[in-house]
Amino acid sequence: MVAALPPMDWATFVQLCVNGLTLGSVYALLALGYSMVYGVLKLLNFAHGDVFMIGAFVGYGILTSFGGSLNLSISVWAVIVLMMGGAMIGCGFLGVLIERVAYRPLRAAPRIAPLISALGVSFFLANSAQLLFGAASKSYDTFGLVPPEDGIHWRNLNIWWIQVLVIGSAFLFMAFLTWLVQRTKIGKAMRAVSFDREAAAMMGIARELIVSHRRGDAEAARIMFLASAASFDASIGCFDAKYHYWFVRPPQADAGIVTVFPTPPHPSYPSAHSCISGAMTGVLAGIFPDARAQLEAAAQEASLSRLYAGIHYRFDMVAGLALGRGIASLALATNLSTVAPLP
């Protein structure tokens, strides 16, 4: 005979769910940071966990400076707020410093370079922390800070106030991050960069030029419309040429060429990045001739990225830039008669 199962202990089930949510909330915040950095910059930030580790040490330093969990000189919730605030500010400054020193100089480098730099930063932070704080583990002694008796208790169910704080903070931060990405200008910029980094950079350059040259709203709208229309026409012309010539890509012509990311499923000649970059920067160079060198350098950088990725030939880039600049000349001649077309 099969023994009957014991009745469900719902209090234990809910307790396990709360424990899982507490740990999962911490993992979720870590995962959000990883996914945002990779989603926007396509960078595996190996130093991300080490930055969190530095934040933990910042919080521990604040706690010990006020006497430790067993001998606090201020209220418990005040020190918790100070620890969280200090950790966030410290991690924020450290993140900015890492980006400026280790990642920004390699923005245009092959993808393996920032990956190696991220590994180096991770090793540096981990070993620096070991040298500064020692290899022995440090404890917040959270049970002394907030006793487990403080919380919600019902039969076998015990929810500690620290668990409520962790879960509530995680959901609050995730809701704030969702609002930031979906509802704000900086979030729109992040989504644009994640979709097409080069095109987003071109639009950012356009905005900077419009502001620096003090163009009015109507003129700004006209310039942005013209640049967008030229890039759209360049896309049409590019793909019309692609499927007319139907030229294979380097990995298709030589199986020995291995790319990091999958080869795009359309022909090689000409390069779409080069066409669109040439068109957009061509329009802006015609309107802002004093920035021509900067704009042409940006178009060349965007074009070269396809060559470095191993998915285009050099003549794809040359033809793409020429096509894009020709479309820019037509757009300028048609829509801005006061501005001479590009040579």
341 belongs to a structural domain: no
pLDDT, residue 342, reads: 41
How far is it, in rounded angstroms, from Cα 312 to Cα 111?
16
Q: What pLDDT sits at residue 258?
A: 78
Could you tell me if 206 and 70 lie in one domain? Answer: no
Cα→Cα distances 234→113, 276, 328, 332, Å: 32, 6, 9, 14
Is-cis flag, bond preceding 264, omega within 30? Answer: no
DSSP 8-class letter at 104? G
Instruction: Answer whether residue 59 is part of any domain.
Output: yes
**Are 70 and 207 in a shared domain?**
no
212 shares a domain with 98: no
The answer to whether the peptide bond before residue 270 is cis (omega within 30 degrees of 0) is yes
Q: Please indicate, yes or no, whether residues 207 and 270 belong to a single structural domain of this protein.
A: yes
Q: Does some domain include residue 266?
A: yes
Query: Do 32 and 174 have their domain in common?
Result: yes
Asked if residue 273 lies in contact with residue 198, where contact means CB atoms within 8 angstroms, the answer is: yes
Residues 136 and 248 in one domain: no
Q: What is the mean pLDDT of each run of 10 residues along the chain (343 residues)?
A: 62 82 88 82 84 92 88 86 92 90 80 87 92 87 79 76 87 88 76 65 64 71 83 90 89 80 80 89 88 86 83 90 92 63 41
One domain for residues 292 and 162: no
Which residue, among 144, 4, 172, has the nearest Cα to 88 in the 3D structure? 172
Please give the pLDDT value at position 85.
92
Instruction: State the pLDDT at residue 343.
Output: 42
Return the closest-CA partner of residue 106 out of 93, 120, 94.
120
CB-CB contact of 22 with 15 (8 Å): no
| CA of residue 89 relative to chain centroid, distance | 19
- Going by the DSSP 8-state scheme, the letter that residue 70 receives in this structure is T
In terms of DSSP H, where are the helices of the chain? 10-41, 48-65, 76-98, 112-133, 142-145, 161-183, 185-195, 197-212, 217-245, 250-253, 272-287, 292-308, 314-335
The DSSP call for residue 105 is G
Contacts of 274 (CB under 8 A, 6+ apart): 299, 302, 303, 306, 316, 317, 318, 319, 320, 321, 323, 324
What is the DSSP secondary-structure string of 232-297? HHHHHHHHHHHHHH-PPPHHHH-TT---SSPPPSS--SS-HHHHHHHHHHHHHHHH-GGGHHHHHH
The CA distance from 144 to 268, in Å, is 65
Q: What pLDDT shows up at residue 205?
A: 61
Is residue 32 a part of any domain in this protein? yes
CB neighbour list of residue 212: distance below 8 Å, 6 or more residues apart: none
Q: Are 154 and 202 within one domain? A: no
User: For 68, left (φ over 0), alpha (ψ -120 to 50), or beta?
Assistant: left
User: Would 207 be classed as within a structural domain?
Assistant: yes
Predicted confidence at residue 131, as pLDDT, reads 92
Q: What is the pLDDT of residues 200-249, one digit of tens each?
A: 665 666 666 666 666 777 777 788 888 888 888 999 999 999 899 888 88
Helix (H), strand (E), coil (C) string for 140-167 = CCHHHHCCCCCEEEECCEEEEHHHHHHH
Is residue 279 in some structural domain? Answer: yes
Q: Looking at the domain assignment, is residue 2 inside a domain?
A: no
Single residue among 184, 212, 232 that ends a domain in this structure: 184
Query: In this structure, are 169 and 24 located in the same domain?
Result: yes
In the listed set 159, 184, 209, which residue is the last one of a domain according to the structure?
A: 184
Task: Give the pLDDT confidence score for residue 104 in this predicted structure.
Answer: 81
Contacts of 141 (CB under 8 A, 6+ apart): 68, 69, 70
Judge if 315 and 180 occupy the same domain.
no
Residues 52 and 161 grouped into a single domain: yes
CB 226 within 8 A of CB 202: no
Domain that holds residue 264: 196-335
Residue from 44, 73, 111 nearest 260 by CA: 111
Task: Say if residue 94 is in the same domain as residue 59.
Answer: yes
Strand 151-154 versus strand 157-160 pairing type: antiparallel
* Number of domains present in the structure of the chain: 2
CA distance 267 to 180: 38
User: Which of 136, 137, 176, 144 is closest to 162 using CA atoms?
Assistant: 144
Q: Which of 184, 216, 237 is the last residue of a domain?
A: 184
Distance spanning both ends of the chain, measured CA to CA = 92
Q: How far, in Å, CA of 272 to CA of 264, rounded?
A: 11
In a domain, 340, yes or no: no
